[in-house]
Amino acid sequence: MQEQNEPTPLSKVGEFNLIDKLTEKIKIYNKSTILGVGDDAAIINHNECHTLISTDMLVEGIHFDLLYTPLKHLGYKAVITNLSDIYAMNAEPRQITVSIAASNRISVEALEEIYEGINLACECYKVDLVGGDTTSSLSGLIISVTVMGSAKEEKIVRRCGAQENDLICVSGDLGAAFAGLQLLEREKSIFNENQHIQPDFDGKDYVLERQLKPEARKDIIDFFEQEGILPTSMIDISDGLSSELLHLAKNSKVGLLVYEDKIPIDLMTITTMEEFNLNPLTAALNGGEDYELLFTLPLSYHDKIKNAEDIHIIGHITDKIEGCHLIPTGSGSLIELKAQGWQSKMNE
Ligand code: ADP
Ligand code: MG
């Protein structure tokens, strides 16, 4: 934020100049965008498809810390977290709006950096920025993104369709963003005590990137399309595997069994968590911000996914009466899954 020599205070440029500055580099990628920024409202035409809408707000001090969050990454992440919700419905994100409340502490250049990240995410995922709002804030920075997506009705996947015996799958690996956050928080407290000590992030790029610059799993949705796969239920993993599993089970009115040794955790997540004397499994189950996809598939799809590089079968759906359980590695006994409080059980 302080990289520029003379940051321009927001009060120096009017609201309209600021909006012009922030929106001048916008490119349009979708033909469903009839009209973007510049009028009282954007015009979207999703034709014969359903429109899906989701929104997420990021609040300084709650969702991000400007001390260690590069502004460009912040803009990128604000978009990604929204896109992930649309992919989790097996739909394509098409348009976003971005609303920003900033205090005078934030310079014009800082907002432009945030927009660089926003524009980059739009380019990478071919999403159009079609509007927003800009206002001032007396305290911290707030970024709110709304995303619109589209999909044919019959392709849309909800949380509620999981059936007994379905396979439970996750994409990628889990817990890395949480491990990255531990590192950033540790370096922040060291920095707060002695501002001359340089952060020590050697060899930790993967977990840091997962925290600061996450990606959404468009590739998984594309893979489903290519292979003719339609999950029975799906959700994105933003609050930790444990709570997302419980959402799927509750919405689908089923139970489930998950095997600890099947849960994908990257080696760097494991070593980082161990440095903090924390159980890596805790990062995967309760960490959050992974933006991976959790979905269920009928057994008949097993052959189609068994060789998919980044899809892991972690368990199966059971009858509701059996509840939601984890089978720890090397043990036949069951541990009941809980969204919170699970960690304390592990430490007993
Ligand atoms: P109104 O007074 O109708 O709310 P604004 O002056 O707030 O209009 O916005 C003018 C245009 O700029 C609108 O198309 C709006 O969607 C767009 N816009 C405003 N703020 C942003 C922003 N932060 N990012 C992207 N577009 C924005
Ligand atoms: Mg406005």
Which amino acid residue places its CA nearest to atom 21 of ligand 1? Answer: 132
The band of 204, judged by pLDDT with boundaries at 50, 70 and 90, is very high
User: What's the CA-to-centroid distance between 68 and ligand 1, angstroms?
Assistant: 29
**pLDDT at residue 95, as a whole number:** 98
CB of 40 shorter than 6 A to ligand 1: yes
Shortest-distance atom of ligand 1 to CA 15: 6
Confidence check: pLDDT of 341 > 80? no
Confidence check: pLDDT of 15 > 50? yes
**pLDDT at residue 197, as a whole number:** 80
Torsional class of 131: left (φ above 0), alpha (ψ -120 to 50), beta (otherwise) = left
pTM of the model: 0.93
CB of 38 shorter than 6 A to ligand 1: yes
Residue of 16, 58, 133, 145 to mutate, ligand 1, most atoms within 8 A of C-beta: 133
CB of 22 shorter than 6 A to ligand 1: yes
CB of 145 shorter than 6 A to ligand 1: no
Shortest-distance atom of ligand 1 to CA 133: 20
**pLDDT at residue 338, as a whole number:** 87
Helix (H, G, I), strand (E, B) or coil at 37: strand
What is the percent of the chain where pLDDT is above 70?
96
User: What's the CA-to-centroid distance between 83 and ligand 2, angstroms?
Assistant: 23
Confidence check: pLDDT of 339 > 80? no
Q: List, as one string, the DSSP characters of 157-170.
A: --SS---TTPEEEE
**pLDDT at residue 344, as a whole number:** 36
Which amino acid residue places its CA nearest to atom 2 of ligand 1? Answer: 40
**pLDDT at residue 342, as a whole number:** 39
Q: What is the pLDDT of residues 59-98, one digit of tens each?
A: 999 999 999 999 999 999 999 999 999 999 999 999 999 9
User: What's the CA-to-centroid distance between 18 and ligand 2, angstroms?
Assistant: 12
Q: Which numbered ligand comes closest to the C-alpha of 39?
A: 1
Which amino acid residue places its CA nearest to atom 8 of ligand 1? Answer: 40
Using CB atoms within 10 Å of the CB of residue 48, give its burial: 0 to 12 exposed, 13 to 18 middle, 19+ buried: exposed
Instruction: Compute the distance between CA of residue 151 and CA of residue 54 in angstroms, rounded to an integer.
Output: 14
Q: Which pair of structure tokens corresponds to residue 77?
A: 């992440």
Confidence check: pLDDT of 46 > 90? yes
What is the percent of the chain where pLDDT is above 90?
85
Q: What is the pLDDT of residues 266-275, one digit of tens each?
A: 999 999 999 9
Shortest-distance atom of ligand 1 to CA 98: 24
Q: Which pair of structure tokens corresponds to residue 301?
A: 């799809």
Q: What is the pLDDT of residues 164-199, one digit of tens each?
A: 999 999 999 999 999 999 999 999 998 888 888 877
Residue of 18, 23, 43 to mutate, ligand 1, most atoms within 8 A of C-beta: 23
Instruction: Compute the distance between CA of residue 127 and CA of residue 92 in angstroms, rounded to an integer.
Output: 9
Residue of 27, 33, 37, 96 to mutate, ligand 1, most atoms within 8 A of C-beta: 37
Residues 8 and 109: beta-carbon distance below 8 Å: yes
The band of 348, judged by pLDDT with boundaries at 50, 70 and 90, is very low
* Residue 154 per-residue DSSP state: G
If you average pLDDT over residues 130-154, what whole number do you get?
96
**pLDDT at residue 11, as a whole number:** 87
**pLDDT at residue 340, as a whole number:** 64
**pLDDT at residue 346, as a whole number:** 39
CA separation, residue 187 to residues 96, 117, 280 (Å): 34, 24, 20
128-136 and 92-102: which strand pairing? parallel
Confidence check: pLDDT of 343 > 60? no
User: What's the CA-to-centroid distance between 99 and ligand 2, angstroms?
Assistant: 9
**Which amino acid is located at 266 in the chain?**
D
Buried b (16+ CB within 10 A) or exposed e, 204-225: bebbbebbbbbbbbbebbebbe
